């Protein structure tokens, strides 16, 4: 049995190899070469690969070879990458750096970055539909779950709440939790759910995994709030202090760093309690702890 770090490295390397394969050039002379390069620029820029790791970890915890979950694992990282490319655009957060490199629009221009994000929002559904490992029933269920997690009642809806909150002065904890649940929590929760579907799990297990994902997503986002104040820009690969600069309400502006950390600790412990149904969950317990202590 591999140790935690070795297993994590194995999942990440499997993800990165497959991302490159799914988005390879179709020919040396393809006219849309620049688009594929812009997509790969952002896909290959690194990042923690938390979402695909969760897909694999749930699939394997439930006794199924994690490689069966290759398509949904790469799909979720593509969706995440699309959200980062669009979030960095001048019309959104206007960030020049991401994962320690110039943002996609700084490297390829704004129009190409919009299109690279667009292409990365649909390629996931193509690779799931065309996958040879999963049954038709599994693929339909995954597509249904993933599209809902991304769309108007999911991550994109959460981004809208976030944008509109910037114009308000009375954002409270309940508003913030709802915004984080959608903007950050939905992609993390659906990663866990897709891993379960790949393993043929029953509905009770799927719903416990979803609840774990929502709690992990909230703790993850609160840590993100804390790192925006206390973090190291070199480790984060982007400047700190953007929340204050953009006048955003966060768990840190509401409660201060220490109390925000206590809340993240508590929610993280609640997340671990949801893992009761997830088979061999020791990797997931360690992953939850690592994400709580992360510095980037
Ligand atoms: C613009 C369609 C659209 C959506 C934007 C998710 C999102 C909504 C924007 C991304 C920016 C952001 C700060 C989102 C909150 C979730 C979060 C903490 C993202 C960063 O995820 P990590 O830490 O990033 O997993 P890496 O680089 O490690 O992959």
The pLDDT of residue 246: 80
| Ligand 1 lined by 92 (C-beta under 6 Å) | yes
The whole-angstrom separation of Cα 137 and Cα 242 is 43
Q: Express each pLDDT in 186-245 by its tens digit.
A: 999 999 999 999 999 999 999 999 999 999 999 999 999 999 999 888 888 777 888 877
- 3-state per-residue secondary structure call for the chain: CCCHHHHHHHHHHHHHHHHHHHCCCCCCCCCCHHHHHHHHHHHCCCCCCHHHHHHHHHHHHCCCCHHHHHHHHHHHHHHHHHHHHHHCCCCCCCCCEECCEECHHHHHCHHHHHHHHHHHHHHHHHHHHCCCCCCHHHHHHHHHHHHHHHCCCCHHHHHHHHHHHCCCCCCCHHHHHHHHHHHHHHHHHHHHHHHHHHCCCCHHHHHHHHHHHHHHHHHHHHHHHHHHHHCCHHHHCCCCCHHHHCCCCCHHHHHHHHHHHHHHHHHHHHHHHHHHHCCCCHHHHHHHHHHHCCCC
The contacts of residue 121 (CB under 8 Å, 6+ apart) are 78, 79, 82, 150
Contacts 24+ apart (CB under 8 A), 280-284: 280/60, 280/61, 280/63, 281/61, 283/4, 283/7, 283/57, 283/60, 283/61, 284/54, 284/57, 284/58, 284/61, 284/212
The pLDDT of residue 160: 97
Which atom of ligand 1 is the closest one to the Cα of 51? 25
- Dig out the tokens for 26 from the structure: 């179709």
The pLDDT of residue 263: 97
Task: Please give the model's pTM, rounded to 2 decimal places.
Answer: 0.95
Report how far ligand 1's centroid is from the alpha carbon of 155 (Å).
Answer: 10
Scored b (16 or more CB within 10 A) or e, 45-55 reads: bebebbbbbbb
The whole-angstrom separation of Cα 52 and Cα 55 is 5
| Ligand 1 lined by 149 (C-beta under 6 Å) | no
Pocket test for ligand 1, best of 80, 90, 121, 191 (most atoms within 8 A of CB): 80
Structural contact between residues 286 and 272, judged by C-beta atoms closer than 8 angstroms: no
| Ligand 1 lined by 224 (C-beta under 6 Å) | yes
Structural contact between residues 134 and 75, judged by C-beta atoms closer than 8 angstroms: no
Pocket test for ligand 1, best of 77, 159, 164 (most atoms within 8 A of CB): 159
Q: Identify the bridge partners of residue 98 per DSSP, sorted by sequence position.
A: 101
Rounded mean pLDDT, 160-178: 94
Q: Express each pLDDT in 18-65 by its tens digit.
A: 999 999 877 767 778 999 999 999 999 989 999 999 999 999 999 999
Q: Which residue, judged by its Cα, is nearest atom 27 of ligand 1? A: 47
Distance of CA 89 to the CA centre of its chain: 18
pLDDT of 71 above 80: yes
Surface-to-core class of residue 101, CB atoms within 10 Å of its CB (0-12 exposed, 13-18 middle, 19+ buried): middle
Q: Express each pLDDT in 126-151 by its tens digit.
A: 999 999 999 999 999 999 999 999 99
| Ligand 1 lined by 184 (C-beta under 6 Å) | yes
First to last CA, the chain: 28
Report how far ligand 1's centroid is from the alpha carbon of 184 (Å).
Answer: 7
| Ligand 1 lined by 156 (C-beta under 6 Å) | yes
| Ligand 1 lined by 50 (C-beta under 6 Å) | yes
């Amino acid at each position: 049995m591999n140790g935690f770090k070795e297993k994590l490295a194995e999942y990440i390397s499997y993800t990165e190899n497959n991302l490159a394969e799914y988005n390879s050039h179709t020919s040396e002379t393809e006219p849309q070469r620049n688009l594929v390069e812009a997509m790969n620029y952002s896909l290959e820029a690194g990042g923690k690969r938390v979402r695909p790791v969760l897909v694999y970890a749930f699939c394997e915890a439930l006794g199924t070879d994690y490689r069966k979950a290759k398509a949904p694992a790469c799909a979720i990282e593509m969706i995440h990458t699309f959200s980062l490319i669009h979030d960095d655009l001048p019309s959104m957060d206007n960030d020049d750096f991401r994962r320690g490199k110039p943002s996609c629009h700084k490297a390829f221009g704004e129009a190409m970055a919009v299109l690279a994000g667009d292409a990365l929002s649909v390629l996931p559904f193509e690779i799931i539909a065309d996958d040879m490992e999963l049954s038709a029933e599994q693929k339909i269920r995954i597509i249904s779950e993933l599209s809902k997690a991304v769309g108007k009642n999911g991550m994109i809806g959460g981004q809208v709440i976030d944008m509109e909150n910037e114009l308000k002065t009375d954002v409270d904890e309940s508003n913030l939790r709802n915004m984080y649940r959608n903007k950050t929590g939905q992609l993390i929760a659906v990663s866990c759910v897709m891993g379960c579907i790949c393993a043929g799990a029953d509905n009770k297990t799927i719903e416990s995994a979803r609840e774990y994902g929502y709690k992990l997503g909230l703790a993850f986002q609160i840590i993100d709030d804390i790192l925006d104040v206390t973090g190291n820009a070199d480790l984060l690969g982007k400047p700190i202090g953007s929340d204050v600069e953009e006048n955003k309400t966060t768990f840190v502006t509401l409660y201060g760093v220490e109390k925000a950390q206590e809340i993240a600790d508590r929610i993280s412990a609640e997340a671990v309690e949801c893992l009761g149904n997830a088979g061999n969950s020791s990797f997931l317990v360690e992953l939850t702890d690592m994400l709580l202590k992360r510095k980037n």
